[in-house]
Structures are given as C-alpha cells and as structure tokens.
Structure 1
Amino acid sequence: MTTTTRNVPHRGITALLTLVVPLLVLAAALVLVLSWRDELPAEVATHWSNDGVDQVGSAAGMLVTFSTIVVLFSLAMWALGTFAGQAAMTRRFVAGIAVWLAIFLGGILVVTFDAQRGLTDARDATGIGGGVVVTLAVAFAAGIAAASVVPRDPHRPAHSALPATTTTLPLDVDTRATWVRTTRQGHAWLIIAAIAVAAVGLGIATDWWIGLILGVGLTPLLMLLSATVVIDARGLMARTAFPWPRITVPLDEIEDVDVVRVDPMGEFGGWGIRTALDGSIGMVLRKGEAIEVRATGGRRIVVTVDDAATGAALLATLAGRER
C-alpha cells in the first residue's frame, strides 16, 4: 500500500477555532460570573432535581472544574486537528466540538449562577431548564457554524501511477461504470431505543431538561441506521442517512485502493462517520470488510460496505484512468 507524508493544511484556523475561540468564550463566562460574586450565596447550587436544588457546594470549585474541562478538551481538539488533521472532516470535527463544548459549559455556568443572584440560600433558586435549552441550542448552532467555516481540503492531484499490485477490473478505457451499495446496521435501533428509554427515565427521575439533553444526543445515532457508497467517474462518495457530513475522494487524488477488515471500536472508537487518532477518517457502521483508500496529503479513508472487493477494484480502475 502506498504511503505519503502527512500534510496538515490550515493549521492557523484550526488553532483559532479549537483554542482561541473556546478560551475566549470561557474567559467571558468567568468574567461575567465573577462580577456577580457579591450577589451569590455562600454556597451555590451545583445540582438540580425535579424538586429543585438538591446539592450545594463551592462556587470556586465549580468554576475550576468547568474551566479545566474546557481547557483540556480544547487542547486535545487542537492537537488532533494540528497533528492528525490531514482531512478536512477531522478539522471540521475538532473545530465544531471544541466551540460547542466551550459555549455549552460556559453557558451552563452563566445560567446556573444567574439563577442564584440575590439569594441567601441557594436552595431557593428557581429551575434553570429554560436557560439550559437555550444554551444547548446556541452551542449547537455555533458548533455547526465553526465546522462550516473550516476550509475544505486543497486539490492535491496524485503524480504517480497506482502500484502494479493494486487489483483492478478489466474495463475498456471508454466504458462508463457506477457502483452503488447501501449498508444497514441491524442493531442501531436497539441502541437508539435504549437511550430513548434512558432519556425519558432520567427526565422523570431528575428534571425534564436533563432528559432532553440526553435525548438530543440521539440525533447523531441516526447516522448508524444506513449508509450509501457510490463509486463513479467522480470518485468515491460515502454518506449515512443524513446528506451531511459525507466523505468524498476525487479520482485524481487517489494513490492506492485496497480491501481491509475494520474493527470500529478498536480503530475508530465507535460507529458512524468517525476520525481516528492517526487522522484516518471512516464511515464504519459495522465490523468487517471495507474499502481502504490512500489519498494525497497522507489521507486514509475507510468505508465498510458489502462486496468491498468489487468496489475497491472499480475505484482503482477509474482512478488509474486519471493518470
């Protein structure tokens, strides 16, 4: 299998979106909350249930905990995007999730402390469900916006022929071919149903907005239900039940194609459209055979699909015509 040196582009905007923006958001939240310190009770509410505040603690401890989470997570996303972000999908993922977490946790701090201003006893604080929902919506919108402004991969045509050992199909040069496969994940509904039940139960046992947050987390799991892979004159395109995000690889950027076996949890930490720690990206809905593409810039793309051998051979054949 051909390998190339990793080429991670757009490191500046990665640093801006994974470090600068999240830390500015955190700083703004901390400054605002600290400006209220004379209005807050000696011990602040740190947990709510259906009956109201059920746990109090130190304001400083809460601020330090939330700040540590944001700082460490932002550093982790910056490192992943900077050193393993050879694919745009990886850089979009780290930018979106870093901004999302900073706004969500910063917003939770603001909403939580604002509800306690002017109180002597934090247990008299009213519910914060409405503020949490607004914070969640703003965080999602900001995270999507951050991912959207990340530049796409630059066009990097391959300059060498595919290796002689790469399997191809005996197609005439002027023959047009398209290969389409749809893969379904049989156990995804069980996972979604289990989390839905847990969300409802948690909402009843604690507070409605806690169940709502868990329920919102179901949305990405819908991507596990099915996936479509298309190989044609444009190259490789793979997407799940949603039209976005999708994986695309132009033919003229392909350096080699192979068939491999993939362990989603072991290699990618889970199922769906994923990024691995080494910068590999994949659409992995199940364990088993997959098309592996090596593209310019050190990119590695893995797609689990039935009859991967035929798809890989056709992709290699079409890519070879581009040389």
Structure 2
Amino acid sequence: MTKLIRVLTATAVLPGAVLVTAGLLANAWAGRLPDPVATHWNDGPDGATPRGLFVAVCLALGAVATAILTATAVAALRRGRPVPRVTIGVGAGFAALAPATLLSVLVPNLDVPDWHAVRSGAVVVLFLVGAAALGIVAAIVGGLPAPALEDSADRPSVGLRPGQRAYWSGRAANPAMLWLLAVVPGSIALVPAGLSWPMAVWFALVGALVAAVTYRVKATVDAKGVTIRFGLLGFPWRHLELATIREATVRELTTFGDGGLGLRFNPVTGTTAYKVRGGPAMALALESGRTVLVSVDDPATGAGLVNDLRARHVTRID
C-alpha cells in the first residue's frame, strides 16, 4: 500500500464511509421519524429541529470536515512533511463526529409519534465512542513520518574529542507570565460588570497554577539523550534518546509564533514547541520527521553537544 493510498484511506475512505452510511440510514428511516425530530435532551427532550434541516446540516459538516482533512494530509505528504498519527486520528474522529451525532439523534427518534415522546439520548455515547475508534484506526493506517532529510550545512558542534564526556544544561524563564496570569483576573473584578471577587480569585489561582507549570523550561544533554522539563516541578517532562534524534540546530523563534507560549503542538508540521519566550531555541530534528523546539539560553552549545554525541553513537554513560 503506497503512502498516498494509506493517507486517502485514513482521511477520505474511512470518514467518508461513515458519512455515506449515515446519509443512507437517514433516508431509509425518513418514514419512521417524526418531523421535527428531538435534537436536545436535558432531563427529557426539550428541543427539536426540522428533520430535513438537521440531516442536511450534519451531512454537510461531515463532508466539509472530511474534505479539509484529506486536502491537508495530502498537501503535507506532497511537501515531504510528516503526517503524524495524532493529527490523522483526531482529524478522522472529528470528521466522523457530525454523522455520528446525526445517527445518535435519529435512533432515539425512531418510531415515536412525535418528538416529545422520544427515548433517552444516552445512546450518543456509543456513537461518540465509535467515532473515537474510527480515529484510532485511521491513525494506525494513515500516520506517516516525513522522508529522511539531508543534514543542515550549519550543524553546530562543540568539538567533543574521542573519550571525552560532557554534560550541558540550559534553561529559560518568563516570570512575567506568573504576574500576568495571577494579577489580570483579579483586576477584572474591579471593572464594572466584571468578575465577582470569588470568581476572580478562582481564575487567579488557576492562572497562577498554569503559569507555574509552564513559565520555565529546562533542557539537559548528556550521553543518555535530551531531557526537557517544564515548570517549577519539572513536569510535564520528556526524554529523547540520542538514537531518535537526527540532528540538532538553532532556530530563531518569535514570541507568538508556533502557537504562542507554553507547550504547543502543530499537527500539520509535526512540530512540538516547549517555549516560554521568543529568541534563539534548540531545534531537534527527529528520525520520525518531527521537530522539537526548546527555547533555552545558549541553545548552540546544547545543539552542538547533541550532534557530537550523536555522531559518536554514544548511548550510555559508563
């Protein structure tokens, strides 16, 4: 199975089959459904929508989502970019969500005299699980790494000699994030029609916690690989073995590029950024075709040590 066929199967065939099946069932059930159909439940059915409109909207949303997913994945494949499993899985599950929702609404409406007599809408859980399962299958079928790339000409090095051992640690912090996320919600409470004090305090605590987890990043490089730690407690953290890294370089990041500050993942490019500021960052190109960016101070030294250790194929410290 070629890469293109795999991608098309995961992004077009699988969610498209769900979409067609939902459309055929909706048409076959037309005579057994009330008009309008119940489309919202609380303790019982408390909202309805004309049957034809609801079916058309769900099928249209599913078709648009499937088309966008397929076009994005095929474009990434043709440009030599990775097609991450997470991207394919989430995209296919999302594309199947609209037809799954359609079926989860129509099934409780079957054979009832009117929408007020509709059965429980709890069946929606089963259809949502089905959409998630389809996403998992699509991820397995269509997730592809990027093709191997040539090494960069400006590959840094620290000149590590045979027999030498070295260790590097770099970090960066953005204390302004702590103050911003802690003070701003409280200040909003002072504005007319703003948050109440209890709500402002709650938002401030949550904001401070989020900032504490993400306002600082640290990276270490040794013969075991690269370890990245976020926040005051060093969590979340990630370890990359040297064998999984193709090369390390330095890249200049903008403050709001790559999704902004914090832990960011770009499903189209397969780039994961651990970023607390703009400026120079260590860029790790993985053998899988993905890229990991870490906004630490002195990234050139860290990248150079990664390249030297990788060239020597050092995998442990004696």
Shorter-chain TM-score bucket reads: 0.5 to 0.7
Whether the aligned pair in 1 keeps the contact of 2:11 and 2:142 (CA below 8 Å) is no
Q: CA offset at residue 47 of structure 1?
A: 2.4
The residue that corresponds to 1:67 in the other structure is 59
Distance 1:69 1:293, change over 3 A: same
Q: CA offset at residue 250 of structure 1?
A: 4.9
1:120 is the counterpart of 2:113: yes
Q: Secondary structure at the match of 2:159?
A: coil
Q: Distance in 2 between matches of 1:67 and 1:270?
A: 37
Once the two structures are superposed, the pairs formed by residues 227-238 of structure 1 within 5 Å of their partners are 231=221
Q: Distance in 2 between matches of 1:143 and 1:286?
A: 32
State which of 4, 27, 30 in structure 2 corresponds to 1:11.
4
Q: CA offset at residue 248 of structure 1?
A: 7.7
Once the two structures are superposed, the pairs formed by residues 238-317 of structure 1 within 5 Å of their partners are 250=243, 253-254=246-247, 257-263=249-255, 266-268=257-259, 272-275=263-266, 277=268, 279=269, 281-284=271-274, 286-289=276-279, 290-293=281-284, 301-307=291-297, 309=299, 310-317=301-308
Figure out how many residues of one structure are paired with residues of the other and give that number.
271
Whether the aligned pair in 1 keeps the contact of 2:167 and 2:221 (CA below 8 Å) is yes
Once the two structures are superposed, the pairs formed by residues 68-83 of structure 1 within 5 Å of their partners are 68-83=60-75
Whether the aligned pair in 1 keeps the contact of 2:225 and 2:242 (CA below 8 Å) is yes
Q: 1:85-122 deviations in whole A, cap 9, x for unaligned?
A: 4454x332332023212433322211211111122221
Tell me the amino acid that sits aligned with residue 112 of structure 2.
Answer: L
State which of 48, 54, 63 in structure 2 corresponds to 1:56.
48
State which of 80, 87, 94 in structure 2 corresponds to 1:94.
87
Q: Secondary structure at the match of 1:115?
A: helix
Q: Distance in 2 between matches of 1:25 and 1:311?
A: 48
Deviates more, 1:93-102 or 1:145-154: 145-154
Q: Secondary structure at the match of 1:45?
A: strand
Q: CA offset at residue 243 of structure 1?
A: 9.2
State which of 150, 160, 164 in structure 2 corresponds to 1:171.
160
Q: Distance in 1 between matches of 2:244 and 2:213?
A: 28
The residue that corresponds to 2:14 in the other structure is 21
> Could you list the runs of 5+ residues in structure 1 that have no partner in the other structure?
1-8, 195-221
Tell me the amino acid that sits aligned with residue 282 of structure 2.
Answer: I
Q: CA offset at residue 228 of structure 1?
A: 8.1
Tell me the amino acid that sits aligned with residue 73 of structure 1.
Answer: A
Question: Identity rate of aligned residues, in percent?
Answer: 21
Distance 1:84 1:102, change over 3 A: closer
Q: Distance in 2 between matches of 1:234 and 1:149?
A: 32
